[in-house]
Structure 1
Amino acid sequence: MAARVAILGLMIHALLLAAPTANSEPRGFRATLIRREKAINYPRAAQQSYDRLSTLAARVTSTQTPLRSDNEGAYDMEVSIGTPPQNLTAIADTGSDLVWAKCGSCPTCMPKDSPSYYPNKSSTFSKLPCTNRLCVALEEQGQATCGARGTECDYKYSYGLSGDDYTQGYLGNETFTLGGDAVQGIGFGCTNMSNGNYGTGSGLVGLGRGPLSLVSQMGVGAFSYCLIPDPSMASPLLFGSLANLTGSGVQSTRFLQSGTFYNVNLRSITIGNARTPGTGPNGIVFDSGTTLTYLSEPAYTLARIAIVSQTSLPRVADTDGFGPCYQVTGNNTSGTVPTMVLHFDGANMNLPVANYFVEVESGVVCWVVQRSPSLSIIGNIMQANYHIKYDLDKKALSFQPANCSSM
């Protein structure tokens, strides 16, 4: 009898140590975000950010319009797929849901020179049938069809209204490894054809609020990141119990509505000694995949006026769509530009100058907030050096100033 009890105890212990599944109890995972380019090309970032803004705004009224990714200044996530693990990088995107990677040789996939995941080299790969809830979710969006007598869920996920940019393939089930932790049962797109600008990585990891996203499938309830602007350093991406914010300076605000995007209410903006209005009932979206920040009217014009009237630097011509712009010596703006504070419901974000003024060319700094014809977005430049938590369970966003390189 004692031997049986001992054996049972060992079996239970082994089960507790086994790799978690996507639907197991929340625990902590750590991943890494990296930036590929040595320096941001700001004119290109402006164009790509505007393209992304356009498709994001379109998706507010059309669930069939996923986002175009903005790879200039975007952050890639390091992830391993399969058993044994195959190491890849993919754009980390809080503004979309689908997780996908290039599969096989994929001669018609973009970008052509990035590595692929090979399902035939993994012992844990399987195809998802049409009855799977992830396939049903894609079908409801008009993005999936069922072939092979229902044993294969084929998708064509179009980016933008034109449909020229897309990823196409079939849904699979795999083990994803984040840091040193393996998570079983992640549904993802095994792409065998794609077109568009997806940076230099091998796919895209959706971190939105919908059922297809990585964070929703893992069932961890929350994730956080702390973005380091220095491209030579990796930024932490934390899931579950590791995503906690502790210590002083933590502030929180509620999400405005359900859906993929992380909208919060921007009530007003303080610039120096001026208080300007926020962005109205649609709020503002925190988005890791957009580099620049966008404000709708009249928030943009009134904030710009406040910046111009309180900046004591020599004014120069606007540069490549950025403005106002100023001449500086040694990129020193200390005491010469006004402070900028974002006021949300129950929370205030006191921005470092480097989060809203950047050197776009030698000796010239510009305010990198842009005018939006529709939706407002807080891009990743403005989020830098903040630990930002997306709490799906509590439907709230939290943040605190942080030394991201020490996390």
Structure 2
Amino acid sequence: MALEPLPKLSSLTVLLLSLIPLSSGAFAGGVRVELTHVHANAGDSEAKLIQRAVASSRHRLSTLVDRAPLHAGKTEYIVDIAIGTPALAFSALVDTGSDLIWTQCKPCSNCYWQSSPVFDPSKSSTFGTIACDSMLCKALDQHSCNASCHYSYMYTDHSYTEGVLGTETFTIGSTSVPGLAFGCGNSNDGVAFAEAAGFVGLGRGKLSLISQMGLTEFSYCLTPFGSRKKSTLSIGSLPNPNATAHPVMSTPIVRNKSWPSFYYITLNGITVGGTVVDIPSSTFAINGDGSGGMIIDSGTWLTYLEYSAYDKVADAFTAQIKNMNTTDQSLFDLDLCYELPPKSTPDTLNLPKLIFHFQGADLELPPGNYFGVDSDTSSICLMMAESSGLSVFGNFMQQNMQVMYDLGNDVLSFYSAECG
């Protein structure tokens, strides 16, 4: 697909832009921004919201387990940022499962509708292109050269963005960050992008915001599903763990050479009620070919377990929940749903406890983090499903939890919090 040229800079300027390292000093003390759930303003019923979230979650899982050079789509949270000089505001999807920062750009040969104006690099005094021989250009799975670096970034749902890899000043919160490499997309399309004008990747790859800034710390606190409160994302610093009365638990972040962008954590076992589920320790291990393992992901709603483990966990819940009637699960495409007694919530019911035994951390979750409620049908459902090739600790289980990524020490920490 032919791309129209963007404004050119001198070859010396292009070379310099490709060599200038970014400094984490721009985020000294950290930057805190608000996150909006993609369905927050949909105006749908609870049942419809759950249906959409489950469908989106299953769609995203299929993109995560695909072993081609493609990237995950359909993420869950949006951040408002700005690009260029003068700054142009736009909304971007935030994703810990991918790397590239990109937005739609003029001239646009094929762009989807967005609520904000499309960025025009010819009107920004700080836009630059990136040389083909730069490390950032070579970090792309697919790129080509025509005076500057052209990228093609494909998602496994057939969504895509194509354009020029450039540099620009981004404003995140109240902080301006010059020289960030980003995809200036002249041709973009896909259902994954409908809610925003681009992406901000927070993965571990070279093109992510975290890597480009040389940052080693970020955290988020996600409000409960359906809440009107904003979630928060903090970049460049971590909350003081001594400021909470809740226990702080930590587990190592594991690297997978086959999939270096993802944040892997080690799950050793699961307890349901008073029963340690009989799951072999190898079930959640990373295999020699890079498959398997468990990642923590901000963009996947449900939690997914390898099918052999999921079946045993579901059987354990079924065996221990005897005083509640099951309901039709087909409405939500979930396996385990029960009638919700009047004036009840998962946290007020006598539901079996759920503990995830991570390496070094036994995380006991409140029932409201693994049973979701639909008041329209007066039912609750277990927010877990089966997978093959990858397990995912999804964002529903992370709600009302401060989740902290210490990449300098490869440690993930978390504690209970009132988010928002």
Structure 2-normalised TM-score? 0.83
Paired position in structure 2 for 1:144: 143
CA positional deviation for 1:241: 2.5
Conservation of the 8 A alpha-carbon contact between 2:329 and 2:335: yes
Match of 2:149 in 1: 153
Say whether the 8 Å CA contact 2:114–2:197 is kept in structure 1: no
Distance 2:176 2:228 in 1: 27
Gaps of 5+ in 1: 1-19
Residue 234 in structure 1 maps to residue 230 in structure 2 = yes
* Distance change >3 Å, CA 234–CA 106, structure 1 → 2: farther
Report the Cα distance in structure 2 between the residues aligned to 1:357 and 1:78, rounded to whole angstroms.
Answer: 30
The answer to whether the Cα contact below 8 Å between 2:238 and 2:404 also exists between their aligned partners in 1 is no
Deviation track 1:15-71 (CA, whole Å, cap 9, x = no partner) reads: xxxxx9832446212222112423562223222222221221124xx4x1111224x
Letter paired with 2:23? N
How far the C-alpha of 1:135 sits from its partner, in A, is: 0.5
1:384 and 2:399 matched: yes
2: CA distance, partners of 1:93 / 1:137:
18
2:327 aligned to which of 299, 316, 337: 316
Unaligned 5+ runs, structure 2: 1-19, 41-45, 287-292
Q: Between the two proteins, what is the percent identity of the paired residues? A: 39
What is the match of residue 384 of structure 2? Answer: 369
Question: 1:55, 1:67 within 8 Å by CA — same for their partners in 2?
Answer: yes
Q: Are the aligned partners of 2:345 and 2:373 in contact in 1 as well (CA < 8 Å)?
A: no
2:200 alignment partner AA: V
Q: Is 1:395 aligned with 2:406?
A: no
1:144 maps to a residue whose letter is H
User: What's the counterpart of residue 80 of structure 1?
Assistant: 82
Q: CA deviation at 1:235?
A: 1.3
Distance 1:69 1:220, change over 3 A: same
Q: How far did 1:103 drift?
A: 1.1
Task: Give 1:242 deviation, angstroms.
Answer: 4.2
User: Whole-Å Cα distance in 1 between the matches of residues 146 and 366 of structure 2?
Assistant: 53
Match of 1:359 among 346, 360, 373: 373
What residue number does 2:17 align with? none
* Of 89, 100, 114, the match for 1:98: 100
Distance in 1 of aligned mates of 2:413 and 2:236: 14
Equivalent runs, 1:202-351 vs 2, <5 Å: 202-229=197-224, 230-246=226-242, 247=244, 248-258=246-256, 259-276=260-277, 277=279, 279-282=283-286, 283-311=293-321, 312-319=323-330, 320-328=332-340, 329-333=342-346, 334-351=348-365
Cα separation, 2, equivalents of 1:236 and 1:76 = 10
Q: How far, CA to CA, are the matches of 2:169 and 2:240 in structure 1?
A: 25
Partner residue, 1:68: 73
User: How many equivalent residue pairs?
Assistant: 372
| Contact kept? 1:293, 1:382, Cα under 8 Å | yes
Q: Distance in 1 between matches of 2:189 and 2:24?
A: 35
- Equivalent position SS for 1:400: strand
Take 1:242 and 1:29, find their aligned partners in 2: how far apart are those partners? 10
Measured in 2, the distance between the counterparts of 1:122 and 1:186 equals: 14
Task: Work out the CA distance in 1 between the residues paired with 2:410 and 2:397.
Answer: 22
Over 3 Å counting, the alpha-carbon distance change for 1:43 and 1:251 in structure 2 is: same
Note closer, same or farther for the CA distance 1:115–1:242 as it changes in structure 2 (3 Å cut).
Answer: farther
Structure 1 segments, 4+ long, off by >3 Å, are 111-115, 242-248
Give me the TM-score of the superposition, normalised by structure 1: 0.86
Which residue pairs with 2:127 in the alignment? 125
Is 1:47 aligned with 2:55?
Answer: yes
Cα pair distance change 1:114/1:107, threshold 3 Å? farther
2:59 counterpart SS class: helix
Question: Partner residue of 2:16?
Answer: none
CA distance in 1 between partners of 2:212 and 2:418 (Å): 30
Query: For residue 369 of structure 1, what is the amino acid of its counterpart?
Result: M
